[in-house]
Amino acid sequence: MTTTFSPDLLEILLVEDNPVDVKVIQEAFKEARIASHLIVVTDGEAALEYLNRTGKYRDATQPGLILLDLNLPKKDGREILEEIKSDSALKTIPVVVLTSSDEADDIKHAYEHMASCYVQKPLEFDEFMTVIARLRDFWLSSVKLPDT
């Protein structure tokens, strides 16, 4: 089967500073045959610039889904989440927190600030694949997303 998952125009913004995690996620996207465009920014400020279409991201399009790491340089993921969810133009974008942390405080904070879900990054590639496949099946297939 060679089905690819590419809902029209859907862009996915990955906010992730760890280059190996970026590689692993890109690899997993490839294996999961997700054709959606994956844009990678590596710190919190860049993420906000991208979303607000400022600085070097003036021509960016609004992503349909955000994969957000929590521990980031400059502005961390917790702040990014708060800013996204208190911005009327951005708050409808689903945010999937994807982090290595399993701290109870982080999980609570994420849901308190309207994260759509919280996923701990697995260490094993096979488990990572499972997670990405599930995200694909849910966010890119089962659910209806607002127009961007």
Q: Which stretch binds another protein (CB under 8 A): 14-22, 49-57, 60-68, 131-139?
A: 14-22
Query: Between residues 10 and 15, which has the closer beta carbon with respect to another protein?
Result: 15
Which residues have C-beta within 8 Å of that of residue 140, sequence separation ≥ 6? 5, 7, 10, 34, 36, 65
Measured from the CB of residue 121, what is the shortest distance to another protein in angstroms? 7
Measured from the CB of residue 24, what is the shortest distance to another protein in angstroms? 5
Q: What's the count of helices (H) and strands (E) in the chain, helices before strands?
A: 5, 5
Query: Between residues 44 and 63, which has the closer beta carbon with respect to another protein?
Result: 44
> What's the burial of 42, exposed, middle or buried (CB within 10 Å: 0-12/13-18/19+)?
middle
Query: Between residues 100 and 141, which has the closer beta carbon with respect to another protein?
Result: 100
Q: Quick check: 108 binds another protein (CB under 8 A)? A: no
Q: Rounded CA gap, 88 and 125, in Å?
A: 36
Question: Using CB under 8 A as the criterion, which residues of the chain lie in contact with another protein when the complex forms?
Answer: 18-21, 23-24, 27, 71, 100, 104, 121, 123-125
